[in-house]
Structure 1
Amino acid sequence: MEQLPYKREAFYRRERKSIPAAREFTAWALKDWHAIERLDDVLLCVSEVTTNALLHGVPPGRGFLLHIELCADRTVRVEVHDSGAGDVRLPEPEADAECGRGLLLVAALADKWGVGERDPGKTVWCEFGPPSTTGPNPGLTGGYPPRLSPPRRDKSDSARK
C-alpha cells in the first residue's frame, strides 16, 4: 500500500469535458484513499477551480494540471496549475449576476485557499482538513470500499501539449 502522503495528478486539455473528468478523477482518488468525509465540498471546489482555469487561465491549445494530495494529518490538498497570466482574487459579483461566485464558494467551503506563482502561469490551491469527529468514518458503512480502478480517459487527455 502507498505511504502517506498520497499524491495523484492528471493533465486535462482546454475543453469542457475536462471539468467532469477532473471531478471524476478526484472522486476516484479520494475514494481509493478512504478520504470521503468531505467529498462533496472537495468536488464542488474542484469544479470551480478547474472551470476558472479553463475559462481564464488556459490559453488555446494548452491545458491544466490537477494535483490531489492526502497528507499524513488527513488534510486533502487540491492544486490546479495553469499557464495563463492573471490576477486571482475574490470577486464582488453584482446581486443579479449569474456567474462570478466560484472563488466565493471555494473560500466558504475550503479551510484554506490561495494562489501561488509558477512560470508560466499560476497555481490555485485549496485545503480541506479532516472532520473534527472521532470514531469510525461516518461516510463509510460496512467497511472500506475495495481498491478502485482509475476512471477511463481518452488517450489524448493524458498527453501533455
Structure 2
Amino acid sequence: MTDSCPIPTHFDAITYTPTPRTIPLARRRVTDLLTRWGHPEAAPTAALLTSELCTNAILHGRLPGRLYRVETSLTAGSLRIAVTDPKGEALPRTRTPAPDTTTGRGLLIVQRLASRWAVETLTVGKTVWAELDL
C-alpha cells in the first residue's frame, strides 16, 4: 500500500513458486479471504484479477529460484490485490492482441474489471496491483 492509501482493516500475504499450478491456489485463497472478511460478492471479480496478475508474474516476471508474492488488503472502501515478482525490467503494458491469439488480454481484463490498477517499480522487481471499490 502506498502512503496515501487508507490503513487496511485486513491483510494477507503469501509467496508462491512461479508455476502455473499456483494460480488456482492464489485464486482460491483470495476467494476464501473475501468470504471470511464479509465481501463474498466481490470474490468472483477478485479471483479473476488474481488469476490475471499471477499469470503475468509467472509468464513475464519469473527468474530462476525466485518466488512471487500475492498481497491482499481490505480497507473500509476497497480491496487491493498486489502481485510482486522479481523481474523489474519487464514492465507490463496493455496491448491489442490479434483476434486469433490466445494470449495478450490479461491487462485488458484487469483494466476493465478493476476500479484502478498500476505498476510500481521496486529496487528489485515490481508490483502490479489492482483495486476494487466496494
Q: Percent identity?
A: 35
Q: What stretches of structure 2 of length at least 5 have no aligned partner?
A: 1-6
Q: 1:14 to 1:71 in 2, by over 3 A?
A: same
| Structure 1 residue 63 displacement after superposition | 1.2
Q: Is the 8 A contact 1:66 1:81 kept in 2?
A: yes
Task: Name the structure where strand makes up a greater proportion of residues.
Answer: 2
Selected match of 2:54 from 50, 57, 60: 50
Question: Once the two structures are superposed, what CA deviation does each residue of 1:11-45 show, in whole Å capped at 9, x if it has no partner?
Answer: 00121211111011111111110112221111011
Question: What TM-score, normalized to structure 1?
Answer: 0.75
Structure 2 residue matching 1:37: 3-state secondary structure: helix
Task: Name the structure where helix makes up a greater proportion of residues.
Answer: 2
Selected match of 2:130 from 104, 126, 133: 126
Selected match of 2:94 from 87, 90, 95: 90
Equivalent residue for 1:147? none
| Structure 1 residue 4 displacement after superposition | 5.0
Equivalent residue for 1:79? 82
Equivalent residue for 1:60? 64
Larger Rg: 1
| Structure 1 residue 72 displacement after superposition | 2.0
Are positions 1:107 and 2:115 aligned together? no
How many residue pairs end up in the alignment? 127
Runs of at least 4 residues of structure 1 off by over 3 A?
none
Q: Is the 8 A contact 1:78 1:126 kept in 2?
A: yes
Q: Is the 8 A contact 1:83 1:119 kept in 2?
A: no
Are positions 1:20 and 2:51 aligned together? no
Letter in 2 for 1:127: E
Question: Relative contact order: is structure 1 or structure 2 higher (C-alpha 8 Å, sep ≥ 6)?
Answer: 1
Question: What TM-score, normalized to structure 2?
Answer: 0.90
Q: Is the 8 A contact 2:8 2:73 kept in 1?
A: no
Q: What stretches of structure 1 of length at least 5 have no aligned partner?
A: 131-161
Q: 1:4 to 1:95 in 2, by over 3 A?
A: closer
